[in-house]
Amino acid sequence: MQRLLRPLRLLSLAALTMGATLSPPLLARASAQQKSGGGYTMQEIVTEGHRFFGATAGGLATVIERAFQERGLPNGYILGEEGSGAFIGGLRYGEGTLFTKNAGEHHVYWQGPSIGFDAGGDGARTMMLVYDLPSVNSLYGRYAGVSGNAYLVGGVGMTLLQRDSITLVPIRTGLGARLGVNIGYLKLTPAPTWNPF
């Protein structure tokens, strides 16, 4: 088992390093969002996360705190549920509601393929923090990123997905068995579809 986890740790570290290198400077964006009054505070997100995730949210506050340190204040968030499965190639489908302070609530769907060293299946409650969203319609499209999972029965994880200037930070509490690292994208749409591409 240790022999399997060592390469996964290295791949995860490489993926995080690549994500940090490819993303724009974090500090300037975080301070700009904190000055604008349209974002959600960490306390608002943690409170909503505990209400949404309930008892399964053991490490939720730590994960949310890390997202706020890296990205600043989100100007929207999505609460929903999803299911995914993979054996080298994988698929993910989900649906939820986008919450914003100035544009109300909007139903949103997501789906997407992935490929990598990944096997298993899971069902998850998902909170996606949304950064730099100029309008609701600009949310829809493909967001690329790298994801890593290592749990049996349950776990809390965070990913970073990017499209143009908009960043999504999905925080998932999953139930199932999943082990691996993959590269893929999520396609967000205003209506449900079975086509992940």
d(CA 95, CA 189): 9
Identify the pLDDT of residue 152. 53
Does residue 16 carry a pLDDT above 70? no
Beta strand ranges found along the chain (DSSP E): 76-100, 104-131, 141-158, 160-163, 166-189
Q: Which residues pair with 48 in a beta bridge?
A: none
Does residue 29 carry a pLDDT above 80? no
Mean pLDDT is lowest, of 51-55, 69-73, 96-100, 150-154, for 150-154
163 neighbors 144 (Cβ within 8 angstroms): yes
Strand, coil or helix: what is 53?
helix
DSSP state letter for 90: E
Identify the pLDDT of residue 60. 77
User: For 173-190, how does the pLDDT look when each residue is reduced to its tens digit (9 = 90+)?
Assistant: 877 777 777 788 999 999
Strand, coil or helix: what is 17?
helix
Phi, psi for 165 (deg, rounded to 5): -95, -5
Does residue 91 carry a pLDDT above 70? yes
CA 147 to chain centre: 9
Does residue 114 carry a pLDDT above 80? yes
